[in-house]
Structure formats: structure tokens, C-alpha cells
A and B are shown apart, each in its own frame.
Chain A
Amino acid sequence: MPLLEVSNMTHFFGGLRAVHAYNLEIEPGQIRGLIGPNGAGKTTIFNLITGIYDPTEGEILLEGKTIKGREPNKIASRGLGRTFQTLRLWRHMSVIDHIKLGRYSKLDYGLPGAFFSTPRRLREEEKTTKIAMDLLELVGLPETADQLVTNLPYGAQRRVELARALATEPKILFLDEPTAGMNPEELIDMMKIIREVHQELDLAIFLIEHRMKVVMDLCELIQTLDFGEVIAEGTPDDIRNDPKVIDAYLGKEVSV
């Protein structure tokens, strides 16, 4: 049984068909990519699967159980973590608090714990802090724990977002353009971290990316999207040589 199964998903924004008959199967531990020109509907697909939009048609199964139309926080706590294309960090919060908040659904000291500092709360908060520090170690930012997130450089902010998503203990991780806006050094760091995360935590990863180098290096299978439809699917080599993909990116030759 695949970890995540999306079948025949279609979504309309008013009269606009943003996604049409989209299918996806991700096995545990796989890294898959989703590419396509601007406006092809990649982020819409992410938002549909993670519950921000409710798909008009189709079915989404996570470990065999439907998650279609569930609230984003429920889907996230079922094991589907994500990052955002434009950074969505909380600007008044420290780095460690960001990552601790990823553990929100794992905390069960309840309201009594939140109002009174019960021993149980102290225990759980301490454990959460430890997990958060380990994750910061993993993304290579342990010394920034107490800094405000807005004081970090851009590449580091991206890594905080990744660590925050990992704190939710995802079985499958959605990365929306993880290297967008990064300089070449940051890009190489990020790819290394993604690989490490994949190996150490044994996650499935599904990523949107514009930089071909990243997609081709990381992914086992790639889908190409254009105008909401999958026009090509296969290994990096297949995709690289697929005429339809080249057409979608570069345009067709016009015969006079």
C-alpha cells in the first residue's frame, strides 16, 4: 500500500480549472519531484493535499485512510509536514519556540498544565526542548536557538522552517521550493541537509522545485505539470529528454 495516494483529484477556482485529474502515489522513503512552469498549479496541488483547499473532486488517502477535506492541523498531525514557498515564520518568536510549536499536537498536558506549571508540563516542555535542540543540530543551527528568527540570514530561516516541519514527526514531507532565493552555497547546504534528513529520519519527500539541478539530483521520480495537468512522469533522465517537457518550458517551434 502506498504511503500517500491521490487519485483523480480535480479542483476549480470558480470557473478556472486549476488542477485536472491529478494522480500520485508515494511509497515510504521515496523522494519525488514536481516541476512545471510558473502558474502550472504546483503549489495548488500542495495546498489541496495538505488541506488548505478542499478539492472539488477526487480522493486523497494517507496510509489508506482518507484525509480529503480534513482541517490542515489534523492532516499535519497525521504525518504530513510541509514548508512554504514564501517563508511563513512567526516574526516575533525565537528559533527554538518555532520548532517547539511543531510539537503542539504531541503535547498533552492540557489546559491545567498550560495555566499552572504542573510537574507534567515541566517534564513535557523539557522533553520538547530537547527534541527541538536535536532537530536544530540536524539542520546545523544549534547556536541560534534563542535568537529571534527575523535576525537570521535567509538561508538559515529556510532551515528553521524545515526543522519546524520535521518537529511534527512527518511520515511524508512536502517541500515547496526549498531552495528558492538561495545563493549557490546555501543551495548546496540545503541539498545536503535534505539528503541527511531523508536518510536519518527515513521520510518520504515530495518537493516542488524550479532549479533542475536540485530536482535531477535528489528525486527518483519526477512529474511535470502544465496548466494543471501532468504531461510527463518518470525518472530524471526520461524527463530531461521528454519533448513535451521541453515544449512546456521553452515553447513549440511554429511551422510556417
Chain B
Amino acid sequence: MPKKIISVGKKIWATMTGWLKKFWSNFRDVPLISWLVAFSVTVALEIFIGQALARMVGLSKPPALFGVALVLDNPAKFLSAIIYMILVYGLPVGVIAYLTKGVGNQIAEWLLQFPLLLTSVVHLLLIYGVMHYWTSISDYRLLVARLAMISIIVTLSLNVVNGYMGEFSCSHPGFMALGAYVSSIFTVLLFVTDNRFGDALLPAFLGPFMFPVSLVLGGFVSAAGALLVAIPSFRTRGDYLAIISLAFMFIVKSLFENLEVVGGARGISNQPDYANLWTIFVWTVLAIWIINNFVRSTMGKALNAVRDGELAASAMTVNTQKTKMVAFLFAAFWAGIGGGLFAHVIRYINPGTFGIRKLAEVLAMVYFGGLNSVTGSIVGAVGFSLISEALRPLDIFKWIFIPIMLILIMIYRPTGLIAFREFDVAQLFQPKGKKDEEGVDHAAA
């Protein structure tokens, strides 16, 4: 009897995935630009009729994050949320993407004759536009979007060490803390009048212009901290880096807990609100661009060589010590930038923020998204941030659900969702559908 049930279940599963595949094949040849257009229409739709529509299906306001939080709060609203999501997101996106794919492909084709920079700018502006208006509906969305983008920076930088270089570093929260504290001290000291650091030293209008300086400063301090970890641990291979970097994280945390000058365990607050959506967007794009440049260059490929065979790398003239050192400091720099942005989004930091839970989060994003892959890190950071936010109403059960999800991913895709794939921007913007090329799945190989 149970055998029969299982076989029927399998059949249903097979037909369902078959349908999904067939359904998806209609969208295979939709270029990125059409998707972006479809999403911008959807966002406009939500802005103009979202409120009315939400009322109509029995919700008090448009659900902030795809309605998951709403449903978990009140399961009776399940149907309403689904209807809303389909009417505002599912249906319009699908229809418009499908309808505009011809035009979209023509535009993408036409854009090919221009330099890649221009095409990138067009796409980035569209992405930013969609995000800007999507987040304009609620402050909560804005916060989630900004934190998700910061997660991308941090995850990507950790992937350089844990994925591309194949070491296991645990000190990223420590680097984030260094960046967050340094940039916070910089901006609060110079541009904010408060009772910790006294009067503002410079006029406030200079603040936004000096903000990048404070971030870069934080990044460099993080990199200097990374040097402390790198010198003793890169003489050998294996678990030493994991242990030393974990120790480093705790050292940084207790350092700030005991430094009364910067608030001790109470931390620093009153950071000016410099980290708005577009600032973070620019920094995220910059991080992706630079890190992707690095890992795709022959110098960056040396990291993979060190990971997969250090002896052979050194016999091929690769200076393995220098390579590891540079990558580690580089990763710490970006973690510092991420920390600085984080401090100016939350506008309050304390040492407790940069503890073991943050570490678990960042590691989960890296391994969820996929090792050795920029796309994987982006997917991992955004996906994990959204899931984690959506499950917030579950409270403590969230930390049961998320680990189970991670365990399942580790079992079925040990290197993460999208691992060992190169992030080629030019390919991303290309018109689709002419030649149907399937990406080779290295993760499964």
C-alpha cells in the first residue's frame, strides 16, 4: 500500500515538474531587459492600485514582503495574500515579460553595438529604478533592501576567502565591526553634535561627501586587522586559519566591549543617515564589479590554483604567500566597507551585533548561494536575507527552520545553489533565444 502511494506521489511530482518546465520554456528567451521592464510595470501597478487592490482582497495594506509575514501572523489571510501576489506580481510580470520579449531582444541586440559600459549603465539604472519605487511603498522594505545589498558585499568578500581560496575564515563579523566602528567614529565625531564626542567639528553639509572616505578608512583598518590574522595563519594550511580567525572575531568583540571611549557594551548611536538606497546601491555595484574583475583575472585565478594544489601553484611561479595575503586583506577591506554601511543603516551599533550569530548568517549566505561564484553570492545573500526577514514572525523557530534548509542544501548541493560559475556581465545582457545554450553544471559534476 505505501509503495503504491509513493509511486503515485512520484508520478504527480513528475507531471508537475514537467508542467513547470513546459511553462518555463515560454520564458527561456526573455532577455534581462524585458524582465526589468516587466518588474517596473509591476512596481508602478502596486504604487497606483496596490492599496485599493489590497482592500479588495481583504488586506489592510499591501503586504511588505510577499505576504509571508502576514500569513504567518494570521493564516486565515493566506488566500488573500496569494491572490494579491498573483494579481500584482505573478500575472503582470509573466504577461509583460512574455509580450515584450521580441522588442526586448531587439533592444538588447541594438545595445550590443555600444560599449559594454553603456549597456551596463542602462540595465543598472533600470534595476535601481525598480528598487527605488519598490521600496518607496514601505520603510520596512527599504530597510530590508538596504540590508540585503550590504549582505551581498559581505557575502561576496567572504566567498573570496572561503570559496575562491578554499580556506575557512570566521573573522568576517570582526572585520565588519572594525569597519563599522571606524566609519561611525569618523562621521559622528566630525558631523554630529552629541554627548559622546562633543560638537560637530565640520559643517554637516560636507558629511555625505566625506562618507565614502569614512567607509574606505574603515575598510583599510579592517585590512590591517586582517594582517594580524594572516601573518600567523598563512604559514600553514588547514584548520589554523579557522581557529585563529574565530579567535580574532572574539578579540575584536571584547575589545570594543571594554573600550569605554567608544561606548563599551552600549555601543555608538546617532550615526547620520548617509547610507540611503542609492549610496548602498553604488557601493554594491562597485564591490561586485571589482571583486568579479579580481576573481576573473589570471592573478585571481591563482587563488583557485592555491586552493586546488598549492605545490603546483608555486611550481608555476605563483607566489602563494602573497596571493593568499592579498586576497585575505582584500576580503577584509570589503567586509569593512559592508560594516560601515551597516552602521549607517541601523544607525546604532554595539559589539554584540558582530558576534557568532552574524558569523552564522554570513557563512550561511556563502554556502547557501554557492562557493566560487559571484552569482551564487548575490543569490545567496539576497535569498537568505529575504527568507530570514520573511520568517521573522516565527521568532525562535526561525532558527530551526533555516538550519534545516541549510542541511538539505548541503545534502543535495554540497557546494551551494550556484557554485563554480563565472559571472559574465556581457553574457547577462545579451539577447536570448537564438542559440539555446545550457550552462554546464559544474556543481553536479
Interface set of A (CB-CB < 8 Å, partner B): 50, 52, 71-73, 76-77, 81-82, 84, 88-93, 97, 100-107, 109, 111, 113-117, 121, 125, 128, 148, 150-151, 164-165, 167-168
Set of chain A residues within 8 Å of B312, measured between Cβ atoms:
84, 88-90
Give Cα A151–Cα B300 distance, bound, in whole angstroms.
23
Can you pick out 18 interface pairs between chain A and chain B where the beta carbons lie within 8 Å of each other? A72-B314, A73-B314, A73-B316, A82-B315, A84-B312, A88-B315, A89-B312, A92-B372, A92-B442, A93-B305, A100-B298, A100-B301, A101-B316, A107-B299, A113-B297, A116-B293, A128-B298, A148-B445
Known A92-B304, A92-B308, A100-B301; 20 more pairs at CB < 8 Å: A50-B315, A73-B315, A73-B318, A73-B320, A82-B315, A89-B309, A90-B305, A101-B301, A101-B302, A101-B305, A101-B313, A101-B316, A102-B316, A102-B317, A105-B318, A114-B294, A115-B293, A148-B442, A150-B445, A165-B315
Q: Are A114 and B293 in contact (CB under 8 A)?
A: yes
Interface check B354, CB cutoff 8 A: no
Q: Which 9 A-B pairs have the closest CB atoms?
A: A88-B312, A90-B308, A105-B317, A72-B314, A77-B317, A114-B299, A76-B317, A73-B314, A114-B297
**Interface of B, helix, strand, loop or mixed by DSSP:** helix
Q: Are B311 and A52 in contact (CB under 8 A)?
A: yes
Q: Are A72 and B315 in contact (CB under 8 A)?
A: yes
Give Cα A183–Cα B326 distance, bound, in whole angstroms.
43
Interface check B143, CB cutoff 8 A: no
Give Cα A25–Cα B297 distance, bound, in whole angstroms.
39
Q: Are A73 and B317 in contact (CB under 8 A)?
A: yes
How many residues in B have their beta carbons less than 8 Å from beta carbons of A?
A: 29
Give Cα A97–Cα B422 distance, bound, in whole angstroms.
13
Give Cα A19–Cα B31 distance, bound, in whole angstroms.
64
Task: Look across to chain A and name the residue whose beta carbon is closest to the beta carbon of B298.
Answer: A100
Set of chain B residues within 8 Å of A93, measured between Cβ atoms:
301, 304-305, 308
Interface set of B (CB-CB < 8 Å, partner A): 290, 293-294, 297-302, 304-305, 307-309, 311-320, 326, 372, 420, 442, 445
Q: Are A117 and B308 in contact (CB under 8 A)?
A: no
CB-CB under 8 A for A125 and B298, given A90-B305, A92-B304, A92-B308: yes
For residue B420, give the distance in angstroms from its CB to the closest CB of chain A: 6
Task: Look across to chain A and name the residue whose beta carbon is closest to the beta carbon of B164.
Answer: A92
Give Cα A107–Cα B302 distance, bound, in whole angstroms.
12
Set of chain A residues within 8 Å of B305, measured between Cβ atoms:
90, 93, 101
Q: Are A104 and B314 in contact (CB under 8 A)?
A: no
Q: Which of A104, A114, A128 contacts B316 (CB 8 A)?
A: A104
For residue B84, give the distance in angstroms from its CB to the closest CB of chain A: 44
Set of chain B residues within 8 Å of A165, measured between Cβ atoms:
315-316
Q: Are A164 and B308 in contact (CB under 8 A)?
A: no
Give Cα A220–Cα B148 distance, bound, in whole angstroms.
66
Give Cα A174–Cα B65 distance, bound, in whole angstroms.
61
For residue B303, give the distance in angstroms from its CB to the closest CB of chain A: 10
Set of chain B residues within 8 Å of A151, measured between Cβ atoms:
445
Set of chain B residues within 8 Å of A106, measured between Cβ atoms:
317
For residue B158, give the distance in angstroms from its CB to the closest CB of chain A: 18
Task: Look across to chain A and name the residue whose beta carbon is closest to the beta carbon of B422.
Answer: A94
Task: Look across to chain B and name the residue whose beta carbon is closest to the beta carbon of A100.
Answer: B298
Set of chain B residues within 8 Å of A73, measured between Cβ atoms:
313-320
Set of chain A residues within 8 Å of B320, measured between Cβ atoms:
73
Q: Which of A88, A104, A111 contacts B311 (CB 8 A)?
A: A88
Q: Are A121 and B297 in contact (CB under 8 A)?
A: yes
Give Cα A217–Cα B298 distance, bound, in whole angstroms.
38
Q: Are A125 and B372 in contact (CB under 8 A)?
A: no
Task: Look across to chain A and name the residue whose beta carbon is closest to the beta carbon of B299.
Answer: A114
For residue A168, give the distance in angstroms from its CB to the closest CB of chain B: 5
